[in-house]
Amino acid sequence: MYKDKKVIVVLPAYNAAETLEITYNEIPFDLVDEVILCDDASKDGTAELGRKLGIKHVIVHENNKGYGGNQKSLYNKALELGGDIVIMLHPDYQYTPKLIPSMINIIGEDLYPVVLGSRILGKGALKGGMPIYKYIANRFLTFTQNLLVGYKLSEYHTGYRSFSREVLETINFNANDDDFVFDNEMLSQIIYAGFDIGEVTCPTKYFEEASSINLTRSTKYGLGVLAVSVKHLLNKIGILKTAIYKRLK
């Protein structure tokens, strides 16, 4: 608990058995009340390892639902369990769990309802081994997105995110895509709904066991991201009415 707020860490996993334990062991359990693991039809025993580590809430998708589909299961379960602060941490150990206390503090003190771990603030991305082509794409997409959605973030593409309960109950994340563009749709919804977003500098690690997407999927993701931002703008000026921007409360 943090000031009577229940803190839940959610782990979207796919073939994460090699890195799950080291990630889990660094979670600050003096602040975190629950951990939820969602195994998206892994083939390496991820769910079994999660149970051995003592994770009480393990969701298993019999068929792969995609990165967005994985997150939907996690956020719905976190709300069901009464989470007030929900932190998404990738179990591939690209992002350090040691930033969790800072994220909890920012949301718990009502400074920001959303906090992102940014690899771009400072020199975390390139220092941690981000491929140069991904860095350039990240900068181009973020610049364009900031222009289109009328906000200013250092990056829209981090997978390290934390949310207040109010945010998750307000945006219609269940209407989003089931693939990687889910993350950007979610940020677009948050900005469209008028929530402020805080960022903290986050070191990152690129290594063989860490998850990544290939060039073809990266290109598809980039085009999808731009489409989300264009739709955001068109909804904002009243030309479109897209279901994902409908507030739930």
Phi/psi at 142 (5° precision): -65, -45
The per-residue pLDDT for 153 is: 97
At 119, list the tokens: 């690899």
The per-residue pLDDT for 127 is: 74
Cα–Cα distance measured from residue 121 to residue 26, given in angstroms and rounded to the nearest whole number? 23
pLDDT digit of tens for each residue in the chain (249 aa)? 899 999 999 999 999 999 999 999 999 999 999 999 999 999 999 999 999 999 999 999 999 999 999 999 999 999 999 999 999 999 999 999 999 999 999 999 999 999 999 999 877 677 777 778 888 989 999 999 999 999 999 999 999 999 999 999 999 999 999 999 999 999 999 999 999 999 999 988 765 555 556 677 788 899 999 999 999 999 999 999 999 999 998
The CATH number given to 7-245 is 3.90.550.10
pTM here? 0.93
Cα–Cα distance measured from residue 113 to residue 132, given in angstroms and rounded to the nearest whole number? 32
- Cβ neighbours for 37, distance < 8 A, ≥ 6 positions apart: 11, 13, 20, 46, 47, 50, 55, 57, 58, 59, 91
At 6, list the tokens: 């229940």
The per-residue pLDDT for 212 is: 58
The per-residue pLDDT for 126 is: 74
Query: Identity (one letter) of the amino acid at 155?
Result: E
- Nearest Cα to 20, choosing from 73, 78, 89, 67? 89
Residue ranges of domains in the chain: 7-245
